[in-house]
Amino acid sequence: MKILLIHAKTFSYKAKEKAIEEGEDIVQENMEGVFENALVVFTTVEEDDGRNPNPVISKAVEEILEVVKNVGASIIVIYPYAHLSSSLAPPKTAISILDSLKIVLSERGVKVVRAPFGWYKEFILHCYGHPLSELSRQISATEEGSRRVIEKKYYILTPDGRLIKPEEYRFSEEELELKILVDKEVFRKESEGGQGRVQYYLRKFGFEWEEYSDRGHLRYEPHATLILEAVSAYSWRVANSLGIPVFRVRGTNMFNLVAEPIKQHADLFGERMYEVKIDADKFVLRFAACHQQFSILKDWVLSYKDLPIGMFEIADSYRYEQRGELVLGFRLRRFHMPDLHILTHNLEEAKKIALIVRDKIVEEAKKIERDYQAIYNVTEDYLNTHFDYIVELVRREGKPVLLVVYPAGIYYWVINVEYLIIDELSRPREIATWQIDIGNAKRFGIKYVDESNMYQYPVIIHTAIIGSIERYIYMVFDKIALDEAKGIPPTLPLWMSPIQVRLIPISKEYLEYTTKIASMLINSGIRVDIDDRDESLGKKIRDAGIEWIPYIVVIGEREAKTNTINIRIRRNGIQKTFTSEEFIKILEEELDGYPKIEGTLPLYLSKRPKLYYLQPLTT
């Protein structure tokens, strides 16, 4: 807050017209005022004041009262004045702080009035001109006062309902990953640094930092683009597999902090936000799809018969992660979040659906042979009143979880579950999540009409079932790194492989037949390319291996004459001969349940530059 204090012999103002849409409504008697022996406090409320307003207001009161005492003013006029700073608070925040400032000053026994906020006003000021008649002050909350300290309690919760303090828990040999998680989260033990194989895999397939952007932003080259699109399409399938109606939407990534629900939600999120200033307004780049989906849902006319329903968006999301924390493919400043929100009638229904969501999260991880460790974040009141339900969740996990207990009422959720892998370098990495939200429906004005024709606020489940798109990809590559350490050839799942089939004609003589086979595969939704380069067969096969292509088909005289194809299968090294129809059937069975995405490269390798991912992977 910045204030300019003028001791005026006379001061008068008259409100003319609103300067901004959010200007406050005023009654006729407040449209103008005339004062004598007044301390006029020209006041600019700044953007940081709203984060912790009480210390700012207290300091301002003491500064103003000190000046009143020294100059002997008989009245204080708080005059909103936006010209002392370029960093303005949102109008609602400013009005609230100005009102509080007036109330606290009045409670201290001085006469005080306030001019209207958000209006063009004319004023006439006659300054006394003595040494104390013109003073300025800059007021802010201390760092200690503005930092919110949250007291958390940690426990290990077992499937049989025992709560054990982490320092007293005895980890079994099978609980090594849980111990790694607890050491990191509770005892703040950091694992050794270093760069694992996953970082090299990601770069090999075209996931790379964009040097012309802010740190933490990726570019996606052709292979990476294909993988990203495949996982994005799959996340929509997963959202639709829960057995409830789901609506897919799209929206903007920028929201105005003038809107009170946006500001409140952003304040709860914390400090990891991207903020953008445009003219006098301040915007936040979304950190998930919440803002857009809630904005849409508040405009829908919903009946109790419509619930439960879901809303889904793959939202480009932004989090201002610290530079030292950025990890390629995992901790980014811009990423894609397949965000699903499920509206339920009440808390009991939300609990039932959350069980389904939990099961689906674990099921998707098991499909790629991953096993999660879980952190259960719960509020203390929810733990006390729903302990049996939390134990039921842990029983489904089939192993102990880390339980973190928060004070009641500090967030909008009552339970927030994080699912983590322990990666190749023994580091906990959060992937998927779900939470039960009891606060945002009211905050954003999302309602439904119940059986009695009364408005009710739904309880909302937030979830990213497979995690962010990039983190899911990170998890897949991390599994490949673990496999490779065991001597298993690195191989992507077929549905994620940028090129699923590489056709290699032995010579130009067989290119026509090869192209015919390619057309059949493409018509069946298979991603295929043809290595028609003037290279040896051995080099072509090696290059296909460098790209981890699951199926390599070599076509020569015998295949052309017998109308067959000779296939090398990467995952097991087996070589077989099939007809085209038989091969397509095998591929379709392997792809069952997964999306088919069109390729991102020209069909013929001779039409491509020598791309970096055709080079051997080295560490």
Q: Please say whether the beta carbons of 232 and 338 come within 8 A.
A: yes
| Average pLDDT value for residue range 334-348 | 97
pLDDT, position 193? 67
Contact between residue 89 and residue 42 where contact means Cβ atoms under 8 Å apart: no
Distances from the Cα of 198 to the Cαs of 204, 328, 478, 485, in angstroms? 10, 9, 6, 12
Parse the chain into domains and list their residue ranges: 2-146, 153-188+196-251+297-477, 494-614
Pick the closest to residue 121 from 267, 258, 17 (CA basis). 17
Return the minimum-mean-pLDDT range out of 271-275, 319-323, 366-370: 271-275
* pLDDT for residue 190: 77
Give me the percent of the chain exceeding a pLDDT of 70.
Answer: 96
pLDDT at 619: 37
DSSP E strand stretches across 451-587: 455-456, 459-464, 501-505, 528-530, 551-555, 564-569, 575-579
420, containing H or E segment: strand 413-422
pLDDT, mean of residues 159-175: 97
Model pLDDT, residue 29: 75
pLDDT at 411: 87
**Across 328-351, average pLDDT:** 97
The pLDDT, as a whole number, for residue 589 is 97
Residue 511 in contact with residue 532, Cβ under 8 Å? Answer: yes
pLDDT at residue 137, rounded to an integer = 86
Predicted pLDDT of residue 195: 81
Stated as kind and residue range, the H or E segment containing 586 is helix 580-591
Greatest CA separation for the chain:
108
Region 62-87 average pLDDT? 91
375: which strand partners? 402, 418
Query: For residue 170, with 0-12 CB atoms within 10 Å meaning exposed, 13-18 middle and 19 or more buried, which class applies?
Result: exposed
For residue 506, the model assigns a pLDDT of 95
* For residue 325, pLDDT beyond 90: no
The CATH architecture assigned to 153-188+196-251+297-477 reads 2-Layer Sandwich (3.30)
User: Residue 533: what residue type?
Assistant: R
Domain 494-614 CATH superfamily: Anticodon-binding domain (3.40.50.800)
DSSP state of 371: -
Short-list 404, 302, 299, CA closest to 344: 302
- Token pair, residue 365, equals 């991880």
In single-letter form, the type of residue at position 344 comes to: T
pLDDT at 13: 94
Q: Give the separation between CA 85 and CA 88, rounded to whole angstroms.
A: 7
For residue 479, name the pLDDT band (cuts at 50, 70, 90): very high
299 pLDDT above the threshold of 90: yes
CATH number 3.30.300.180 given to 2-146: no
Structure tokens at 425: 């370098």
Q: Report the pLDDT value the prediction gives residue 218, as an integer from 0 to 100.
A: 96
Q: Are 358 and 322 in contact (CB under 8 A)?
A: no
417 close to 444: Cβ distance less than 8 angstroms: no
Q: Angle at the Cα of 65 (from 64 to 67), degrees rounded to 5?
A: 65
Lowest pLDDT segment from 191-200, 209-218, 289-298, 461-470 = 191-200
pLDDT of amino acid 187: 93
How sure is the predictor about 146, in pLDDT bands with cuts at 50, 70 and 90?
A: very low
Give the model's confidence band at 618: pLDDT under 50 very low, under 70 low, under 90 confident, else very high: very low
> Average model confidence (pLDDT) for the chain?
92
> So what's the pLDDT on residue 279?
81
